[in-house]
Amino acid sequence: MIEVITREEKAEKARKKGLLPGILYGKKSAKIAVFSKEFKFSEGQSIDFVFEGQKYRGIIKEIQRHPLTDEVIHFDLFLSE
């Protein structure tokens, strides 16, 4: 299970802190981030995660990658429960 945190800063600033920025949408919506080293998911994968102290299940809807390095730079997480 991965911990998802709310982020206030812009995506680039989050990346400099070692976080991978994303967006949560569905029943809740928020700008989010996870620790880059913990993100080992693929598009369409269902994941269990903790957000604001509660457990949820979601689906990775989209992963954006850097065009030259193929490094993951952003993800979209759909809250399915």
Reported confidence tier of residue 2, pLDDT bands at 50, 70, 90 = very high
Reported confidence tier of residue 80, pLDDT bands at 50, 70, 90 = confident
Across 8-46, b (16+ Cβ under 10 Å) vs e yields eeebeebbeeebbbbbbeeeeebebbbebeebebeeeee
One of 3.30.70.360, 2.40.240.10, 3.40.50.720, 3.40.50.9100 is the CATH number of 2-79, namely: 2.40.240.10
Per-residue pLDDT tens over the stretch 51-79: 999 999 999 999 999 999 999 999 999 99
Structural contact between residues 80 and 58, judged by C-beta atoms closer than 8 angstroms? yes
Q: Where are the domains of the chain?
A: 2-79
Structural contact between residues 39 and 60, judged by C-beta atoms closer than 8 angstroms? no
pLDDT higher than threshold 90 for residue 30: yes
Max distance between CA atoms of the chain, in angstroms, equals 37
Torsions phi, psi for 17 (to 5 deg): -90, 5
HSE-CB at 13 with a 13 A cutoff on CA atoms is: 6
Is the pTM for the entire model greater than 0.75?
yes
pLDDT higher than threshold 90 for residue 38: yes
pLDDT higher than threshold 80 for residue 81: no
